[in-house]
Structure formats: C-alpha cells, structure tokens
Structure 1
Amino acid sequence: MSPVYLLLLLLPLVSAQTYRWGPCPTPNVQPNFNVQQYLGRWYEIEKLPASFEKGKCIEANYAMRSDGTIRVLNSQFYKDKVMEVEGTAVVQDPREPAKLGVSFSYFTPYSPYWVLTTNYTSLSVVYSCTDVLRLFHIEFAWILGRSRFLPPETVRYAKNLLTSEGIDLVRMTATDQTGCKDN
C-alpha cells in the first residue's frame, strides 16, 4: 500500500486532531516528577483539538489504585449531560516518571501522556504524540489548572513553553469552563 493511499485512508480519523508531517518531537519533561503530588483534579484550560473532547467543563481526576496504576476519570458536559470515561495511567519507565502512558480501553495500547511542566498546585502542561509510520504524527497538548481559570500570564507561559519545544499551537483553543458545576 502506498504511503499516500494510507494517508488518505487515515485522514478521516485524524481530521479532528492535530497532525503534522514527520516524526514526533521529543520535548523535555518535568524533572523529578512526583506522581503523588500530581494526583487529584485538573481542569482543562486550553487544548489542541481532540475528537473525544467536544463538550465544556472538561476535567480530569487522577487517583492511585492499590495495584500502583493511576485511575483517570475524565468528564465533560456535552449535549445536556455529564459524560465520563475511565482509564488507566502508568509510569512506563521509573527513570522517567513524567512520561506516563494512558489507555481508556483494554484493547488499545497506552498513549503518551508527558508532563512537560507542573508546579502541582496550579499549572500542568501535557503533551502527547503518536507517530504514524514516521510519515506524520498526531499530537495533543493540554494546559491544565487546579482551578477552572488561570491568569492570562500563566497561560502565556504555558504556550511559550510548548512553542519552545517545537509544538505548533496554531489550532489551540480555550476550553469553556463557564457555568460548570463542581462535584
């Protein structure tokens, strides 16, 4: 199968994502990442498009399970109801704990969930990228906060960090966090 034909077959799958030619960049991640401090609720402030995130009031809640994996509970308000999906995150290499893998199905491999930076108390910048035959890559990026809104200078800092790591933010959009109900 020619690469062009393969690309044409895959385009509908990636149309609601951000994709670029070539292999994934390899940004720096948070040094000395502490997963215990990272646990808890994070609100999505801005993101690169993701087909699985169409609603508002998007948040993720991370909790340690007894088997050492991390429970990931993502929720969003979409079509007049709260929609939740539960997944699992794992530290894939203890030498690089900021490079987590996340899966939302027993049948799918772990996708990268790299914490580029966090102060644990207010801001986290996360990046995910998957190569497709090294011809192009599908990428996601999230700016997360411990509160539903971050100061503009904090968002600028996060965007500058992503840009400095070679991540194109032209498609980044703000997440609607207005009128949300807290659990």
Structure 2
Amino acid sequence: MAAVYLLLLLLPLVSAQTYRWGPCPTPKVQPNFNLQQYLGRWYEIAKLPASFARGKCIEANYAMRADGTIQVLNSQFYKDKVRVAEGTAIVQDPREPARLGVSFSYFTPYSPYLVLTTDYTSLSVVYSCTDIFRLFHIEYAWILGRSRFLPPETVQYAKNLLTSEGINLLRMKATDQTGCKDK
C-alpha cells in the first residue's frame, strides 16, 4: 500500500516523462564505441517526452574537457528565448564506453546515457532509464542526427532498433527543427 501512495506522490513529477511499470530494460549498446568520433554537435530528431526539453531547435554539443570529463551543452528555443543547459558526462566503465553517465547538477547523480548505435557521421540512437524501487521506471529515448533532418527511412531504422530492444515508442514525437538558426 505504501508503494501506491509513493507512486501517487511521484506521478506529478513524471507526468511530462515516459514511465512504465517494472524495471528498466537492458538494451545492447554500440560495440567498439569511439568517444572521440562521437563528440561534436547532434540535433534532436525525435524523443520520448522529457520535461527539460519542450522547445524546438533542440541540439546537444559534446566536447572533451582537460580533466577527461565531457562537457554537454544542450540548447533549445523555448518561450521566445534560446535556453542552454550545461552538464557533465563521464564514461562509467572503460570496458563499455558507450554506457555514459550524464548530470546537469553537482547535486544529482549521473543518469544513464546509453549509445545504442551510431555511425558517428549521421545518426545516433540513445536511451536512458532510471528504476524507481523496481516498481516502475522513467525512460528517455532520443534519435539524433548530425543534421537537423534525417531521411524517413533512417528515422524508421532508429525506431525499429529501439522497439527491438523492448522500448515502447508510443509517445515518441518528432522535434521541430524548422526555422532554426545555425551557429
């Protein structure tokens, strides 16, 4: 019964997210992932809902810092302003460098950032999931491109990959990349 009350208390916090019953799925990540090739600008093509990314022209830029961590700069155009959030990513296990952790605050733990596949030059498929007492999980999925628009067959390939890994895409939405200003 306490779990039901806890869930009711947490629901407002996750209403803009995608949550599902049970523990997180465990998708396979990109083998032989090369972080150096992954760095740079990626544009959000589609995603599962995320309360922190509601605007348009959403992009992420990854750069190596001198201390070996990765600077993450996310930007979006929201409510007539460009909004930027800076975070830090780390490789959590050098044996599986496609399993990164990302945090946007010194006060929060690293959240999973799993690169399921990438060709480094056009497409990346990323997944993140956090278990809540193994009762339910909050998940995110992104289809990213090196350009603001990807061919429909490439987007479908990415969706098929996510679905084959047990990720429900019912709530996935395309990101508006029209009328964006390139830097």
TM-score, L = length of structure 1: 0.99
Q: What residue in structure 2 maps to residue 55 of structure 1? A: 55
CA distance in 1, matches of 2:85, 2:173: 22
CA distance in 1, matches of 2:3, 2:78: 36
Q: RMSD across aligned C-alpha pairs, in angstroms?
A: 0.6
Q: After the TM superposition, which parts of structure 1 deviate over 4 Å for at least 4 consecutive aligned residues? A: none
Q: What residue in structure 1 maps to residue 95 of structure 2? A: 95
CA distance in 1, matches of 2:18, 2:151: 26
Write out aligned runs for 1:15-26 (5 A): 15-26=15-26
Write out aligned runs for 1:96-115 (5 A): 96-115=96-115
TM-score, L = length of structure 2: 0.99
Write out aligned runs for 1:28-107 (5 A): 28-107=28-107
CA distance in 2, matches of 1:159, 1:50: 17
Structure 1: stretches of 5+ with no match in the other structure: none
Q: Cα distance, 1:10 vs. partner?
A: 0.3
CA distance in 1, matches of 2:2, 2:85: 36
Q: For residues 46-73 of structure 1, give each alpha carbon's deviation from its aligned partner in whole angstroms, at most 9, with x where no partner exists.
A: 0000000110000000000000000000
Give the counterpart letter for 2:113 in structure 1: Y
Write out aligned runs for 1:140-155 (5 A): 140-155=140-155
Q: Cα distance, 1:154 vs. partner?
A: 0.1
SS in 1 for 2:180: coil
Q: What residue in structure 2 maps to residue 3 of structure 1? A: 3
Matched pairs, number? 183
Structure 2: stretches of 5+ with no match in the other structure: none
Q: Cα distance, 1:101 vs. partner?
A: 0.1
Q: Percent identity?
A: 87
User: 2:142 matched to 1:136?
Assistant: no
CA distance in 2, matches of 1:100, 1:53: 20
CA distance in 1, matches of 2:116, 2:164: 11
Q: For residues 71-101 of structure 1, give each alpha carbon's deviation from its aligned partner in whole angstroms, at most 9, with x where no partner exists.
A: 0000000111100000000000001100000
